[in-house]
C-alpha cells in the first residue's frame, strides 16, 4: 500500500498517456445530451471526482450511478460510462447490459474481466487500464482518461496542463509532508492519524468541490484503516446535522471532526464552516481543519484526497491492521456468488 501511495503522482501522468493514445471513432463524441457513469466502490470514486471537478464547466450534466439498474432517463442520447476496475462487478455488468438495450453511447473503462470481453464482443469503445491494483488505488486511472476523453469530445477545455500540475504538486506533497521519512512535526498525515486513533471521525466538506474528498476520506478510513467514520456536506449539514451535536453526551469525548476546506468554497459556506466549528468545539469535540493546496482546482482536489490516503495508511499502522486486503468485501462477494 505504501508503494502504491508513493507511486500515485506518476499514475496521473501514466493515465493521461493511456488516454491520449486511444483513438475513438468520430461517432463516440456525438449524439448525446447527458453523461452518466455507472460503477461501485473504487471504480465509482473516479466518477465522483469527474463530476465535482467538471460540473461548472462541462456542457452536459454528469450523473453518478451506483446500482444494478439505470435511471429511466438513460436513453440513446446518454453517454454511458461503465466503470469496473476488475471488469467483473456484478452491478456494473448489469448496468452495461441495460444501457446496451437502450442504445446508449457506451464507453467502458476496465483492466479486463467480463466487461472487456463484452465490450470487445459488442464493439463498444473500451479504455484498458493496468491490472493488479486494489480498485481504490487506481483513482488516477479511473478518472484522468475520462477527463481527457471529455476534452477530446469538446465538452471541456484541454486539461493536460492541469493534470501535469496536479502530479507535480502531489509529488512535492509526498516529499515534503506525507512520506514515512518526514517526521511528525512536519507530517500532516501522521499528526491527523494520531489524532484519529481510537476516535470516531466525522468528515465535512462542501458540496461544490470538496464533496469528493469527504467521500474519499470516509472510504479510505474504512478500507485501509478498517475504521468506521461518517461524512456530510455544507451547506446541507447546517440544515439538520448541526442540531445533533449535543447528544449522546457520553460519546462526545470519542468524536473528532475533520473539516476539509478549499479556497474555492463559496464565501457563505466559508462563514458557515467557521460558525459550525465554534459550535462543535463548545461541545468539547476537537475540530481539525485540512486545507487544500495548489493553484488549479484539480490540484486542490487531489491534494485533499492524497493527504487523506496517507492518513488512512498511518492510521492502519496505529490500528495494527494491514491496509491492503478488504476481507469483508471479499467474503461478501463469495457469499453472493453462492446464490
Q: Same domain for 195 and 228?
A: yes
DSSP β-bridge partners for residue 78 = 34
Percent of the chain at pLDDT > 90 equals: 95
Q: What pLDDT is recorded for position 26?
A: 65
Residue 6 is assigned to a structural domain of this protein: yes
The per-residue DSSP string of 56-84 comes to TT-SS-EEEE-SSS--TT--TTEEEEEEE
Q: Three-state DSSP class for 52?
A: helix
Residue 91 is assigned to a structural domain of this protein: yes
Active-site residues, by number, are 223, 239, 333
Q: What pTM did the predictor assign?
A: 0.96
pLDDT band, residue 30 (cuts 50/70/90): confident
Q: Same domain for 90 and 238?
A: no
- Does residue 24 register a pLDDT over 80? no
Instruction: Give the separation between CA 225 and CA 193, rounded to whole angstroms.
Output: 10
Q: Same domain for 119 and 199?
A: no
- Domain's final residue, options 119, 141, 158: 158
**What is the domain count for the chain?**
2
Contact 265, 210 (CB under 8 A): yes
Contact 169, 299 (CB under 8 A): yes
- Does residue 28 register a pLDDT over 80? no
Q: Same domain for 91 and 215?
A: no
How confident is the model over 286-315, as pLDDT tens digits? Answer: 999 999 999 999 999 999 999 999 999 999
- Does residue 251 register a pLDDT over 90? yes
C-alpha cell at 195: 489524532
Q: Same domain for 14 and 113?
A: yes
Instruction: Give the separation between CA 329 and CA 196, rounded to whole angstroms.
Output: 23
Q: Same domain for 288 and 239?
A: yes
Residue 111 is assigned to a structural domain of this protein: yes
Contact 301, 212 (CB under 8 A): yes
- Does residue 316 register a pLDDT over 70? yes
Q: What pLDDT is recorded for position 18?
A: 94
Q: What pLDDT is recorded for position 182?
A: 98
C-alpha cell at 125: 469503445
Mean pLDDT of 332-336: 92
Q: Same domain for 137 and 6?
A: yes
Q: In what order do the strands lie in the sheet with 255-261?
A: 229-234, 200-206, 255-261, 286-291
Mean pLDDT of 185-210: 97
Residue 337 is assigned to a structural domain of this protein: no
Mean pLDDT of 320-330: 96
Residue 328 is assigned to a structural domain of this protein: no
Domain enclosing residue 306, as ranges: 183-318
C-alpha cell at 298: 484539480
Question: Which of 75, 13, 85 has its CA nearest to residue 44?
Answer: 85
Contact 273, 219 (CB under 8 A): no
- Beta strands per DSSP E along the chain: 34-38, 62-65, 78-84, 105-110, 126-128, 200-206, 229-234, 255-261, 286-291
- Domain's final residue, options 158, 191, 209: 158
DSSP conformation class of 305: H
Question: Which of 157, 151, 160 has its CA nearest to residue 29?
Answer: 151
Q: Same domain for 140 and 7?
A: yes
Q: 15-42 burial, b if ≥16 CB within 10 A, otherwise e?
A: bbebbeebeeeeebbeebeebbbbbbbb
Instruction: Give the separation between CA 170 and CA 201, rounded to whole angstroms.
Output: 24
Contact 280, 238 (CB under 8 A): no
Q: Same domain for 257 and 149?
A: no
Q: Same domain for 9 and 154?
A: yes
Percent of the chain at pLDDT > 70 equals: 99
Q: What pLDDT is recorded for position 232?
A: 98
Residue 177 is assigned to a structural domain of this protein: no
Residue 331 is assigned to a structural domain of this protein: no
Q: What pLDDT is recorded for position 85?
A: 97
Q: Is the peptide bond before 56 cis (omega within 30 degrees of 0)?
A: no
Instruction: Give the separation between CA 262 and CA 50, rounded to whole angstroms.
Output: 17
Q: What pLDDT is recorded for position 161?
A: 97
Q: Same domain for 10 and 147?
A: yes
How confident is the model over 52-87, as pLDDT tens digits? Answer: 999 999 999 999 999 999 999 999 999 999 999 999
Q: What pLDDT is recorded for position 31?
A: 87
C-alpha cell at 290: 485540512
Q: Same domain for 289 and 212?
A: yes
Mean pLDDT of 221-245: 98
86: CATH: 3.40.50.10490
Mean pLDDT of 189-217: 97
- Does residue 21 register a pLDDT over 90? no
Residue 170 is assigned to a structural domain of this protein: no
Instruction: Give the separation between CA 254 and CA 297, rounded to whole angstroms.
Output: 34
Mean pLDDT of the chain: 96
Q: How many Å is the Cα radius of gyration of the chain?
A: 20
Distances (CA, A) of 334 to 137, 327, 331, 338: 22, 11, 5, 7
Amino acid at each position: 500500500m505504501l508503494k502504491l501511495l508513493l507511486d500515485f503522482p506518476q499514475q496521473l501522468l501514466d493515465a493521461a498517456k493511456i488516454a491520449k493514445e486511444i483513438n475513438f471513432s468520430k461517432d463516440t463524441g456525438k449524439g448525446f445530451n447527458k453523461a452518466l457513469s455507472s460503477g461501485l466502490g473504487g471504480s465509482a470514486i473516479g466518477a465522483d471526482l469527474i463530476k465535482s471537478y467538471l460540473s461548472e464547466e462541462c456542457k452536459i450534466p454528469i450523473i453518478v450511478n451506483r446500482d444494478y439498474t439505470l435511471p429511466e432517463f438513460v436513453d440513446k442520447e446518454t453517454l454511458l460510462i461503465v466503470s469496473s476496475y476488475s471488469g467483473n462487478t456484478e452491478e456494473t455488468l448489469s448496468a452495461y447490459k441495460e444501457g446496451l438495450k437502450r442504445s446508449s453511447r457506451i464507453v467502458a473503462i476496465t483492466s479486463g474481466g467480463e466487461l472487456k470481453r463484452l465490450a470487445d464482443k459488442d464493439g463498444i469503445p473500451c479504455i484498458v487500464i493496468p491490472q493488479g491494483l486494489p480498485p481504490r488505488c487506481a483513482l488516477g486511472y479511473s478518472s484522468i482518461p475520462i477527463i481527457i476523453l471529455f476534452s477530446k469530445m469538446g465538452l471541456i477545455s484541454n486539461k493536460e496542463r492541469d493534470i501535469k500540475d496536479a502530479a507535480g504538486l502531489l509529488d512535492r506533497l509526498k516529499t515534503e509532508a506525507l512520506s514515512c521519512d518526514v517526521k511528525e512535526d512536519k507530517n500532516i498525515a501522521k499528526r491527523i492519524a494520531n489524532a484519529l486513533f481510537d476516535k470516531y471521525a466525522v468528515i465535512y466538506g462542501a458540496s461544490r468541490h470538496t464533496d469528493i474528498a469527504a467521500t474519499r476520506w470516509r472510504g479510505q478510513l474504512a478500507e485501509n484503516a478498517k475504521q468506521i467514520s461518517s461524512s456530510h456536506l455544507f451547506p446541507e449539514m447546517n440544515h439538520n446535522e448541526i442540531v445533533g451535536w449535543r447528544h449522546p453526551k457520553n460519546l462526545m469525548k470519542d468524536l473528532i471532526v475533520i473539516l476539509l476546506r478549499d479556497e474555492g468554497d463559496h464565501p457563505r459556506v466559508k462563514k458557515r464552516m467557521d460558525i459550525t466549528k465554534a459550535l462543535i468545539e463548545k461541545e468539547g469535540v476537537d475540530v481539525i481543519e485540512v486545507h487544500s493546496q495548489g493553484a488549479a482546482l484539480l490540484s486542490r482536489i487531489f491534494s485533499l484526497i492524497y493527504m487523506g490516503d496517507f492518513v488512512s495508511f498511518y492510521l492502519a499502522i496505529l490500528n495494527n491492521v494491514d491496509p491492503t486486503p478488504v476481507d469483508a468485501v471479499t467474503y461478501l462477494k463469495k457469499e453472493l456468488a453462492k446464490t
